Structure 1
Amino acid sequence: MYHDIADDLIHSIENKLFKEKLPTEHQLMERYNVSRNTIRKAIDIVAQKGLVRRVQGSGYFVNDISQAEKTVVNLTMGLSRTRYHKEMTSKIVTFDEIHADEALSQQYGVRNGAALLRVIRLRYVEKQLYSLEYAYYVKSEVPSLSLASINHSIFDYIRDKYNIRINNSDQYLSQDRLTSEAASLLGLKPKTACMTLQQSNFYKNDVLFNFSQTIYVYPNLSFYFHAANQSGN
């Protein structure tokens, strides 16, 4: 229940229904007809994604991280949830089933030989090339994908169909030089340096269900990551 409420709050923030702060906990309890504990769990999720901050005695304020909406990537939110999510379109390069080789096993920790659904796609924001994504879904956890989801949001699809939500992620951001294949797909010269995100996503008891490499080419991108002090100091 609180995950669904968190998703709705995130949607409201993304669509600027809450511009400065969230309604009070009591107002949210009435809105969703749930307990205070459920509301606090939902808000905790929203806060963990860097979208709100609590000010003692004043409530929960919305963080403004949209320096320029299309040029900020909120890594804490995950690639499928961004402020320009609705404007994103995809061009599918490859959608097939493969088995993990030793290179994928060593790089991402997937079992060697595991069946994978592979999606290679170019992504666009308002028709401008944004990224090239190589994504792999462990078939034992995600048995199938629809073409509609691949053109839009795969994570939304597997959340609704398989009740899979990201519990934690490993993310590595680096500047890498393009392979000949990636350069050809992006229309750039081989060995061009681009920002690249390597990500492994886990759910429930740290079960790997997805890993990916995303190469960004959209101009003037900034990468935002929210970190909370867990020590209480």
Structure 2
Amino acid sequence: MYHEIAEELIQAIESGQFTTKLPTEQQLMNQYKVSRNTIRRAIDVVYQHGLLRRVQGSGYYINELQLQGKMTVNLSIGAGKSLVKHGPLKSQVVTFDKVNAAQIPLAQTMKISPDEDLWRIIRLRYLNDTLYCLEEAYYMRDVVPFISTEALETSVFDFLKDTYDIDPYSSDDFMSLVTIGPDRADLMDLRPGTSMLSLAQINYMRNNVIFNFSRSIYAYPGFSFYFHSAHLSSN
């Protein structure tokens, strides 16, 4: 139950319903007709997503740091989910095929056997008719036996949620600066040797099983990432 409440609170914050601070715990308890413990667990999820800062004795204030950039993606929520407020991504599929883990250097990264079969999806993604990124993604075929071609044009994650009830629960994110080779440069209409920001992600299901690995090279102007960090006191 608290996950559903947390999702509603996140949507309310992103839509601008709450601009300064959250309602009090008591107000939220009355609204959702749940216990204080349930509300606190929901608020904790929203806090972990980097959308709130806690002020002792005053409540939970909306954290607007992630909104400062023209195009800021909040990775505390998830690269895909946090794009909703910017508009839907459209895709141009370059490759959609089946590969063996032994064919690509991913077995160790994904902690899988080299004999494992994967879906490979390479696509150019566009936001507001501007190139957003070049994405290369791999999905475990024993977890995801089928991916529709319609999903490739929009959101594979939405398809997985609707079809298999697979939702990214956590991810390992690795950012780096990469030099674009001739093949990628041609796809992205860039000069070979151009340095671009890249994000590699390993996505886990709720049972801590990896279902997806992706690497995206970003090209959108004014693009930036936002991370939320909670620092533990040593006292």
- Provide the rounded CA distance (Å) in 2 between the counterparts of 1:92 and 1:140: 23
Q: Which residue of 2 aligns with 1:2?
A: 2
Q: Deviations over 1:97-152 (max 9, x none)?
A: 22212511134433312122222221122111111111111122223233443333
Which amino acid in structure 2 is aligned with residue 28 of structure 1? L
The answer to whether 1:193 aligns with 2:195 is yes
Q: Which residue of 2 aligns with 1:74?
A: 74
Q: Which residue of 2 aligns with 1:59?
A: 59
SS at match of 1:172: strand
Q: Which residue of 2 aligns with 1:15?
A: 15
Which amino acid in structure 1 is aligned with residue 137 of structure 2? A
Q: CA RMSD in A?
A: 2.0
User: Which residues of 2 match residues 84-103 of structure 1 at below 5 A?
Assistant: 84-101=85-102, 103=105
- Provide the rounded CA distance (Å) in 2 between the counterparts of 1:161 and 1:230: 39
Cα–Cα, structure 1 residues 106 and 228, in superposed 2: closer, same or farther, change >3 Å? Answer: same
Which amino acid in structure 1 is aligned with residue 228 of structure 2? H
- Provide the rounded CA distance (Å) in 1 between the counterparts of 2:47 and 2:34: 19
TM-score in terms of structure 1 length: 0.89
Cα–Cα, structure 1 residues 172 and 33, in superposed 2: closer, same or farther, change >3 Å? Answer: same
TM-score in terms of structure 2 length: 0.89
Q: How far off its partner does 1:225 sit?
A: 0.9
Q: Is the 8 A contact 2:167 2:205 kept in 1?
A: yes
Which amino acid in structure 1 is aligned with residue 108 of structure 2? Q
Cα–Cα, structure 1 residues 27 and 154, in superposed 2: closer, same or farther, change >3 Å? Answer: farther
Q: Which residue of 1 aligns with 2:153?
A: 151
User: Which residues of 2 match residues 183-222 of structure 1 at below 5 A?
Assistant: 183-222=185-224
Q: Is the 8 A contact 2:69 2:222 kept in 1?
A: no
How many residues align structurally?
232
Cα–Cα, structure 1 residues 203 and 174, in superposed 2: closer, same or farther, change >3 Å? Answer: same
- Provide the rounded CA distance (Å) in 1 between the counterparts of 2:151 and 2:28: 31
- Provide the rounded CA distance (Å) in 2 between the counterparts of 1:146 and 1:32: 37
Misfit runs of 4+, over 6 Å: none
**Structure 1 gap ranges (5+):** none
Cα–Cα, structure 1 residues 37 and 164, in superposed 2: closer, same or farther, change >3 Å? Answer: farther
Q: How far off its partner does 1:48 sit?
A: 0.8
